[in-house]
Amino acid sequence: MDFNLTREQQELVSLLEKVGREKLRPGALDRRFKPDETPKQNIKLLADLGIFGLCMPASVGGSEQPYINGILAIEKITEACPITGQYALMCIGGPAMFVAKWGTEDQKQKFLPAAIAGDEYWSISLTEPIAGTDLSALRTRATISGSRCLINGHKIFCSHASTNHRFLVFVRFAEGAGGIGAVLISKDTPGFTISAPHRHMSGEPWCELFFDNAEISVDDILFDGNAFGRLLSTYSLERCAGAVTTLAASRIAFDLAVEHAKERKQFGRPIADFQMTQARLADMYMRYESARLLLYRAVAEGDESPNARLNTSAAFVAATEAAAYVCEQAMNIFGGSGMSQDLPIEWLYRLAREHWAAGGTSDIHRSMIAADILGVHFNHRLPSQQY
């Protein structure tokens, strides 16, 4: 077992720490007041450094590095600027990764170069009004007719849809869990409309997607059914990438709290002198570091490991809950000013807290973890509602 980074990883991390310090961090935390503004300059800078092509196939200009390198990049970018980190997630760990892994060569050539160049951003859309945790109940329907495919349905909670260009959408080609597949849709597709943005609690925008006979070519179908298992296993790695952004953003709160504990004086001495502050910092550090290790292991082992579901769910829950814990304790260390919107700590808390449900709630992940520990399959559906 080797916990050291390879030379390639060390170079990547040092490069991104330098870029983060010099280019991404200035003004980064003020971006919380402009949640609809895409950090285009940062995205272009990272694209020019080849960061979005890190884990992409060589045939489209990528450098085919292991996915863990992409995770390290997302982590470092987010530690400098959480909002830029969301875009790094979408380009490195998000829907583009599904195309890289499962797409035909034509699909890779059509969709990936613009993502690698930072010219097009992707959203993923699974959730529907009636299909949240119970994703297999989704109703958005895809019907193939000759060389065309018609999509009809309604999606919700699609993060950043208002600013993004391409969408990986989970759809149903036939009844039952076996009928679920996925299509690749562009913003300008006739019959496809995107609502005005709603807000998650951090201010992050999400939209509803409406498909009214939205027409795509059959060439843009990623899976025409029988793909639920494969889609979910790749999605589990995407969830880990999402959890990395949450945890990395909490690192900012941790660092600010350490600085504040050393500087803020009460009773004539720094609050870091008080054992309650010390214990708080120690607990924050332990929760943060243990979640980080779980995440690294889940990603390094990958989605084809026999323990992939157990490892990714455990890492996801540990990371999102640790991030919320770290930010909440950081707010406490800041006292009243930690609760004030003048400082970024409460925003980092809201960012971490909302990710409890993004990528599946902690409840359903705990249920999956328990199922794997016990070696059983929990059937959540009523007998009358089985597929």
Stretch that binds ligand FAD, among 25-33, 138-146, 341-349, 360-368 (CB under 6 A): 360-368
Interaction between residue 349 and ligand FAD (CB under 6 A): no
Choice between 58 and 196, CB closer to ligand FAD: 196
Interaction between residue 357 and ligand FAD (CB under 6 A): yes
- Which residues inside 110-139 make contact with ligand FAD, applying CB under 6 A? 123-127, 132-133
Choice between 34 and 366, CB closer to ligand FAD: 366
Binding to ligand FAD by CB under 6 A, coded x per residue (else -) over 153-192, reads ----xxx---------------------------------
- Minimum distance from CB of 324 to ligand FAD (Å)? 12
Q: How many CA atoms lie within 13 A of 245 on its CB side?
A: 28
Choice between 123 and 311, CB closer to ligand FAD: 123
Candidates 75, 220, 328, 354: give the one binding ligand FAD (CB under 6 A).
354
Choice between 107 and 123, CB closer to ligand FAD: 123
* 8 Å CB contact between 249 and 347: no
Residue among 37, 46, 38 at smallest CA distance from 19: 46
Interaction between residue 371 and ligand FAD (CB under 6 A): no
Interaction between residue 106 and ligand FAD (CB under 6 A): no
Residue among 16, 32, 207, 220 at smallest CA distance from 123: 207
- Minimum distance from CB of 192 to ligand FAD (Å)? 15
Choice between 31 and 200, CB closer to ligand FAD: 200
Candidates 32, 172, 200, 309: give the one binding ligand FAD (CB under 6 A).
200
Stretch that binds ligand FAD, among 76-84, 211-219, 283-291, 363-371 (CB under 6 A): 363-371
Q: Which residues bind ligand FAD (CB under 6 A)?
A: 123-127, 132-133, 157-159, 200, 354-355, 357-361, 363-364, 367, 380
